[in-house]
Amino acid sequence: MQNLLRSFAFTSLIITGAIFGIFYAWICTVMWGLDAADPRIAIAAMQAMNAAIRNAAFSIAFFGTPIICWLTALIAWRAGTGKVAVAFALAGLVFMLGTAIPTGTISVPMNQALALLDIPKDEALATSIWQDYSPKWQLWNQIRAGFAGISLLFVGYGIFQLEKSGRV
């Protein structure tokens, strides 16, 4: 049971860190770069990136994060480490409520609407479209990243409690 718990705890750390890193990278690199580009190029690039992110590697991290955290919580609870179980359960819950749900209800619909647009040749129209899209998308991405970061902190705390319990 200890080896299983350890394996799941560190898998939770890697997967939660990966998804937090993805959202963080969009905050401090991708969106700044797109905002600095010609809006027609920014729209085209965002359409391409939104299409490309629907892949197995991203899906495993995104959909797997709450599942792995909750499975780790269950294993920890069965191993009799209550604080560890609570930390991992909270990591999954925080991720689900603050990252997964806003992604599905806000970010994905925004991305789908952008995907349906033909890129205007007129720069002023493209600027208007991008200015309507980018600030709202970035705000929600920062919220998603923040909650993913909180989830990562809970995972770290769970591993700390696991080490403290002497079961690592």
Q: Give the pLDDT band (50/70/90) at residue 167.
A: low
pLDDT at 168: 59
CB 20 within 8 A of CB 151: yes
Asked whether residue 166 carries a pLDDT value surpassing 80, the answer given is: no
Q: Which residue has the higher pLDDT, 166 or 124?
A: 124
Which alpha helices (H) appear in the chain, and where do they start and end? 2-25, 31-36, 39-52, 56-78, 82-95, 101-102, 108-115, 123-164
